[in-house]
Chain A
Amino acid sequence: MLTRREFAKSTAGVLFVSLGGQAQGTIDQSRLEAWLEIHSDGSIIARTGRGETGTGASAFYAQVVAEELSVRPDAVTLIMGDTDRTPDGGYSAGFLYGAANLRKVAAYAHQKLLELAAEHLQTPSSELSVSDGVVSCAKGKVSYGRLVQGRQLSVTIPLRGVPLRFTPPGKSGVTGLEWDGMEGFTVTGEPRLKPISEYKVVGESYPVPGIPAKVTGETVWACDLALPGMLHARMVRPASLGSTLLAPGSFDKSKFPAAQVVRKANLVAVVSPNEWEAVQAANAVAATTKWSEWSGLPSSDNLTSALRAQEWGAPAASKGSEPEVRLTLAEAARTISASYEQPYIKHAPIGPFVAVADVRPDGTTTVWSQIGHLQASRARIANLLGVPSQKVTVRWLDHAGQFGRKTFGGDGAEADAAILSQITGHPVRVQWSMNEDFAWSAFSPAWFADVKGGLDAAGHLTALHIAFHSPHMLDARPLGAILAGMPSGTVQRGGISDTQWPYDRVKFRLEQAYAMDNLAWASAYGGLRGLIMRTPGQRQLNFVLESLVNEAAAVANADPVQFRLDHTTDPRLIGLTHAVMKTANWEARSSPSKDARRTGSNMAAGRGVSVIVRSNAYWVGLAEISVIPTTGVIRVTKFIVGVECGKIINPRQLDRCIKGGIVMGIGEALKEEVTFDKSKVTSTDWSKYRILTMEETPEITVVAISRDDQGFGTGGEAPNALPPPAIAAALFDATGVYPRRIPMTPDYVKRLLAGEKC
């Protein structure tokens, strides 16, 4: 199978590659060939405007297309992301949505091919069957390749959607990226889709196409691109989060003869044709650049009180009936009140941001990067440079997993590279450093939540009221544009309030306030930019909800699993829970354990459970931990995770994604925390921003249930939301003290168990 790049070189001369677009740099996506090409040799090209996020979507797209067309998945080559060669756009994170489009396109193509075959074989299409790209009937057979030989498959793809665009400047003169177009285009109509029960390819562990090249070193990553005349750039960032430039520094020209300082407003960079020279000269410039003093942060030690001091106002989003919940809580035999919180955390990819931009004097611009929303990035670059978006092409290349920070196509090195390329007249490659990435990329915002629950005399949870507070998490403005004082767009306010409620026997009221601007918003660059991160919004809320359910079960002296089953009628959740508990040999009892203790240097053991329901997928997590009270060190010794997400597309890849998600979630539960003093982020390397290591990774058992009758759910995303509440419950089980904050670091656990206020 060809890699994407080899394919790009080899397409000249094959059938159906002309994608005559309506506008320069845009393909006409109402034509079949914008999505799918079927070649006379039987090979198939599928195109999606979305990129690979590291979850294996590139395999799943091929499987979905192959399934609808009844061909082998290795007959399908995928082109992803590039704005001039792919349709649909939208979020790369939304595989299901992107797959739904390609599934329908493939179904339309399949219909057309069956019509041609019926004519060719003189047989009604209802009597035809297809296997491995060959259409057969009693009279004979014909391959897809033969059917398309010498002709264009003329199929119009019906679409709904609007292209992404910036709003015209308003009174403020600031333009914003319209959120309407963020979803990308939707393929409409109802072509006949193959029933899931007849699937042969979807449901198999088809290998991810890009993996061999990644283990041999052949993959061209975003950091690998080298263009003729390209300059390497290193950025010199402000001394604090709010410092403005007083005087740019300098370097010894005799030591670094090819380097030069480039400056636009507060954007300072050093460029050189030689990367190491750029690094060294940038270090020299950073050491001598004068910035204004600034100290407008509360420091991370005072974070919660700073958040609580905000004027939050009325909730931006709510669910459930407030009067009904208020009344039920008033009638409760017992009530529980609790407040939960989490500091800022980072997406923290292993590879810092990198991008290459080539801005020509006429405004024609090409940008290469790993971007989760290609069309949004294109619109942002066009807005930044003041050129029509038709002049901008954004090309997707592999890079380190970004976990949501690239989803809106803003955060990253693309703007830095485009600005520097425009100024220098050269293609420019901008490589952020790890320290810079930790300090200056966007954050998953801190939050706190106040919860009240009511139980009746029989110990049933009757009502819950959750008030969740977080700064906005949709600030995708590119840093380079902000620092350079160039158009960066407005901040989209709000957060993600998509939360599913698994316990239909409990009345609940959820109030979500995303009413707070970035922390230090009033500073020169808008403070700590908040952005979504894997399982956004619901991950945070689920810690609150599931922790409260675990606390309520303890108050009711009930087994936390049975307590959940008693509060839901959802057969999918009940069925999955039983399957997981069977695997776990779960012994029903209430928490805390009879051996629970909060002192001593011997290990105490505990277990805890959590549930999440998200995007047509059901999840149950079970953590077993040990903790040493005197050191506060928690070890997760075992994690069992169950999923039922409708039809499983690729069992092995799902298993890999789930285990990875659990690893990420354990790290979030135990270790991850952004720290800052009054002027800058201080957790700027891996010794200070700590993620889970291999040694800390427990045995993880996956219980995966595939069903043919529930469509598709999101299989890969949500497992990272399971460990924090399950581990918190396990710590309670082991010690009898309930942690209401993550991360559960040794210091926090020690203080918690010592009865200190924390």
Chain B
Amino acid sequence: MANELIVNVNGVAKSITAPQSTPLLYVLRNELKLRGPRLGCGMAQCGACAVLVDGQEVRSCVMPVSAVAGKRVVTIEGLPDLWAEQKGLDHSAKRVLHPVQQAWIDEQVPQCGYCQSGMLIAAVQLLARNPDPSVAEIKDAFTNTPPSPHLCRCGTYLAIIDAVRRAARQMRG
């Protein structure tokens, strides 16, 4: 029997029964039934599995679940609540999307959309540390932030840049 782990996932404390070495991605998907983070490369090379852990982007395909014990994990499913919390919004009546999500819809970013969960996470982290990034800064963040570039085979990079800038304007108010 594996030792019990408590992880805060999208604002709710979850008791995890999976073995400690299980990558976070498999726990999020199979145990917690979240569909945002997805398996891409399984080697932290593409970004499709990215989630926020205590506000920092991590690649959940290579992070053992034991490493996030007691920490706060946010997937795209938790972005609306994260935004509400940051802005002190009461959205119990009507759930408001995170401005990054709304910008992704307004700019019609996804083509196949497979990588976009990771792209949204990278955008949220970028805007948390740089509320008004230039095009060059956005390119740098999505390409040179370790451990790897965020890859999109449909080639949505310019749409992502448009959406990040739109979200940034929105978030700055």
A contact residues vs B (CB 8 Å cutoff): 53-56, 205, 207-208, 210-212, 214-221, 223-224, 226, 274-276, 348-352, 398-401, 403, 431, 433-434, 652-653, 656-657, 659-664, 685-687, 691-697, 700
Contact = CB atoms under 8 A, between A and B. Distances in A.
Contacts of A694: 138-139, 142-143, 149-150, 152, 157, 160-161
A695 B139 contact: yes
Nearest to B23: A276
A567 B35 CA distance: 54
Most chain A beta-carbon contacts within 10 A, residue among B26, B76, B101, B154: B154
Which 5 pairs from chain A and chain B are nearest by CB?
A663-B155, A54-B112, A660-B155, A401-B112, A217-B36
Given A276-B22, A400-B114, A401-B114, A350 B48 contact: yes
B153 A686 contact: no
Interface string B16-56: 00110011001001100111101111110110100000000
Interface in B144-162: 144, 148-161
B134 interface: no
28 contacts: A54-B113, A207-B105, A212-B105, A216-B101, A221-B35, A221-B38, A274-B30, A276-B26, A350-B48, A350-B115, A351-B40, A398-B113, A401-B111, A401-B154, A434-B41, A659-B158, A660-B154, A660-B156, A661-B155, A662-B155, A663-B157, A664-B154, A664-B155, A686-B43, A693-B142, A694-B142, A695-B140, A695-B144
A216 B77 contact: yes
B110 interface: yes
B97 interface: yes
A693 B38 contact: no
Interface on chain A toward B: helix, strand, loop, or mixed SS?
Answer: loop
B43 A401 contact: no
B45 A431 contact: no
B35 to A, nearest CB: 5
A195 to B, nearest CB: 28
Contact of A215 (B18, B34, B76, B115): B76
B43 A685 contact: yes
Interface string B69-83: 000000111001000
B151 A211 contact: no
Chain B CB within 10 Å — which of A55, A351, A694 has the most? A694
B111 A217 contact: no
B154 A54 contact: yes
Interface string B119-140: 0100000000000000000111
A696 B39 CA distance: 24
A349 B151 CA distance: 10
Contacts of B156: 656, 659-660
A674 to B, nearest CB: 15
Contacts of B60: none
B35 A215 contact: no
A676 B138 CA distance: 35
A348 B46 CA distance: 12
Contacts of A653: 108
B155 A695 contact: no
B117 interface: yes
B151 A350 contact: yes
Contacts of B18: 276
A600 B153 CA distance: 34
A401 B153 contact: yes
Contacts of B76: 215-217
Nearest to A223: B38
A136 to B, nearest CB: 33
Contacts of B160: 694
Interface residues of B, number: 59
A350 B23 contact: no
Most buried by B among A215, A274, A664: A215
A207 B75 CA distance: 24
Contacts of B116: 214-215
B75 A686 contact: no
Nearest to B138: A694
Nearest to A212: B105
A398 B112 contact: yes
A220 B34 CA distance: 10
A686 B41 contact: yes
A661 B115 CA distance: 16
Contact of A664 (B36, B140, B153): B153
Given A54-B112, A214-B110, 6 more contacts: A215-B105, A221-B38, A434-B41, A660-B155, A686-B46, A691-B151
Given A276-B23, A348-B153, A400 B112 contact: yes
Interface in B78-119: 80, 97, 101, 104-105, 108-117
A433 B159 contact: no
Nearest to A650: B108
Nearest to B37: A217
A686 B45 contact: yes
B151 to A, nearest CB: 6
A221 to B, nearest CB: 7
B138 to A, nearest CB: 8
Contacts of A687: 45
Given A214-B116, A217-B75, A663-B155, A350 B40 contact: yes
B113 A697 contact: no
A686 B41 CA distance: 8
B153 A218 contact: no
B91 to A, nearest CB: 14
B158 A219 contact: no
A431 B49 CA distance: 15
Contacts of A697: 139, 155, 157-158
A660 B30 CA distance: 32
Given A211-B105, A694-B139, A431 B39 contact: yes
Nearest to B34: A217
Contacts of B22: 276
Given A217-B35, A694-B143, A403 B153 contact: yes
Nearest to B104: A215
A219 B41 contact: no
Given A215-B120, A695-B144, A350 B139 contact: no
Nearest to B22: A276
Given A208-B108, A659-B158, A695 B113 contact: no
